[in-house]
Structure 1
Amino acid sequence: MQCAGRFRAALALAGFALAVGCGRPTTPARPVAPNVAPRAAFIDQFDALWTRFDDVYPSFAYKRVDWNAQRARYRPRAERARSQDELVAVLIEMLAPLHDRHVWLVDPRGQAVPTYRANALTNFDRARWEAAMRDASIVRRNEIGEGLVGGYAYLYIGTWRAPVDIDALDLALERARDAQGLIIDLRTNAGGSDGTAMAFAGRFTRRAFPASYVEIRTDPRVTDVEMPLARTIAPRGPWQFTRPVVLITGRGGLSATESFAAAMRTLPQVTVIGDTTGGASGNPATFALGNGWQFTVPRWLEYGPDRQPIEGRGVAPHLAMAWDPASYDSMRDPLIDAAVGLLGERTGVYRIAPSGSADPPSRQLDVRDRH
């Protein structure tokens, strides 16, 4: 019974994650804690963090990190730490080999301190994007931008966390209901509520389907549940948008955005263009460390519908498009133009083309088919 109880707790944890989501913490500023403490307190902090990861973190084998070896190597250094800053430096060095963008520390002021930074550029230039938004008279409400681009509906979603919620997204989709095609731009969306993202995906399908799979840590004595667990998306809302959709993604798309992209790319009316997403889908929880500090631990390893891990790999687009604004002879956003061109191909109506050419924008970029 104890094993089953622990497993139910693990499932409840996964369900909780759907509602809470992930992304950088929004902890309000707290009083600054002193930088010094008894050395025994530093050892307690080290052991608490190491044990929490040992109990919860699902990706040691996938990341090929020997967690026991990390403890043996770094605990003596934690014992020699003379300040909180020195301990934090030891912890960051121990956690860095995980290469996990959902693993960070939070200082007493509420500021995130990353343990890993990916060297990847987003296929996004804010000046060009702002110019495109002005040209198209896009209406921006908080982190949602919507309007018409080249005669097609355009929806920019900058985050999946508040103030963006499913009600706001449903209203935006309602305003695009009669459009012949829809562009959804997620290039700068670093995540938020996984539940919001998956619920919105339900507005684009008329059938239920397994959108992704997640593997969570359970008691090893529980043998009657198969991992990973399927996460199913079902039709939601009074109607579904089944006309052509182009989803623009890039390395700046993380976490809940990757769950959304993995689900959407399986739908027949959706074409994903741009670049592979950032590959960070761990759904973290935050825990107290001590002396005013906190730390995060990812709680699942997510797989796409193809059963391939998203963590560290990302979600690939159907059409990978090179991002080289320097070779583009205007201040237009080349990926938005490409999306319009692709919708023109799908609907048979070409609305616009980049300056100086009558060819569809998608034919001017370096396009590699990844269907």
Structure 2
Amino acid sequence: METRRTVIVGHFDTHGVSASYLAVKAFNAQEVYANYPQTSPEQVVVTLQNLYSASSVPLHIVLVDIPVDLKNPQAFIRGLEDLATRHSVTLIDHHESSVQFLSQFQRVRAIFLGPSAYDLNAWLLSQVPNASDIDRTIAIVGAVGDRDPAVVQRGLFTQELQALADGLDVLVRERDGAFRTVRALVHSPDSVLEEARQKASQIPSARIGERIGSVAIATEALPAQWGPKALEKMAFTTGAWYATGWSYDQRSGQWIVRAIIRWDVQARMPSLPTPGSVARNLWPTRSIIGHPSAPSMAATSEDEAREMATQWARALADAATRGVAPNVTTFIAETKVGEMMAEILARLERVLESQNRMYQEYLELKKRQVELLEQTSSQRVRAD
């Protein structure tokens, strides 16, 4: 029986790197490669041709977490099918966009394990002989990095896993980061996770200036190059569902207004409005870019950006109230909570004082009643 050398080629994000690590163990692979932009859907076919088409030895090439290129799907399919005339090729994916093309693969073995990113990692994990605790951790961390709602819905999400995913995301975004990180994971996963923890602790948080209901608003411009992550970290730290802020983009020379919804909150309450949908209602003529869960818009000045961030926060708080709590009409601002608690306690103290006074008066009346009864009884004895 022919034994082919197995190589793993994965996507360059956190999920792709974690899936590649698990695939190495599942398929007992001898080589792994993931890097930006070489293993993107648009470039992976050319990358594979450059790396492996000239190989005189037949290989088993396993692609993980790389969807069909929607910009040119037929070229993607033809490229992998051509490679499969000389090598064994397996495509393992979870993106729903790939489903419509799976039947077009003939030589390529196409496996769809989705739409959940966790389902893909869980399947790979099930193929790993004697999987360890760290293997299981990496499987979940990769899905957290993909913001997979299944992680939350299955009760697997923790703040520690969020920190690991954030730190791993920083690592893979560095120069040649995915390439270095996936190979380091294979050789020393513990060391990589520890480095990820350190990277996560270095992510700056936006500083909260005000909270309107479920929305935290940054008090100053966001740290350069950390916009969405700084907002999300502020939201996690304060327990807010949403966060808004603004930053200056050096490349475009523009002020940018940003908003995010915490992905774990959205997974628990999918009926919550997204920042993108609220922004479209607020500013129908503005250009809104990015994912609806973390969109951004250009502003003409920092003052306008600051005002838009506050306006966005008010609209999000109002929309969230109507979306998930229709009987609630007003949110209590975080800055007022202490004051209102003090007032409630003061009122309770006054009620207790009143009750105590009434009880003392009741005891006094009972005492007077007993004295009158004793006096009446004594008078009757003397009369007899």
Is TM (by shorter chain) over 0.5? no
- The structure in which a higher percent of residues are strand is 1
Q: Which has the higher contact order (CA 8 A, sep 6+)?
A: 1
Could you say which structure has the larger radius of gyration? 2
**What TM-score, normalized by structure 1, do the two folds share?**
0.24
> Comparing both structures, which one devotes a greater share of its residues to helix?
2
TM-score by structure 2 length?
0.23
